[in-house]
Homo-oligomer: A and B are copies of this chain.
């Protein structure tokens, strides 16, 4: 309940790694997977996702790898989570209006309020806040 996924966790580890490094130094999925004990294929897929979203740059070939493509300050966490995992809401009906309970539902409003609080909390954070 209210858990972050490993996908996000690994992505954050990777991004933090880049921030701790010389700006344009490349790190390969392999290196990084060893360093942090993350399954290589999985981490690779995550880095690929980040590359597709232009959060990191990818360089192919031997001695290739990834590096940060943007200033982490410019990416807010809500957006980041949604890039990685799709719509973020404590319940599905926040987005998906096909909820069966909807007619009789007596907690929609308060739950939406909670949702808004969580979202705005993450709206006010950027990837850079994961640095410290």
Residues of chain A having any CB pair with chain B under 8 Å: 1-5, 8-9, 12-13, 16-17, 20, 35-38, 81, 85, 88-92, 100-101, 104-107, 109-111, 114, 117-118, 121, 125, 129-132
Contact = CB atoms under 8 A, between A and B. Distances in A.
A12 B91 contact: no
B1 A3 contact: yes
A65 to B, nearest CB: 18
A20 B106 CA distance: 10
12 contacts: A1-B81, A2-B3, A3-B90, A4-B90, A12-B107, A12-B111, A13-B107, A16-B110, A20-B106, A36-B104, A37-B100, A118-B118
Contacts of A105: 13, 36
Given A1-B4, A1-B81, A101-B36, A13 B91 contact: no
A125 B1 CA distance: 18
A6 to B, nearest CB: 9
Nearest to A11: B107
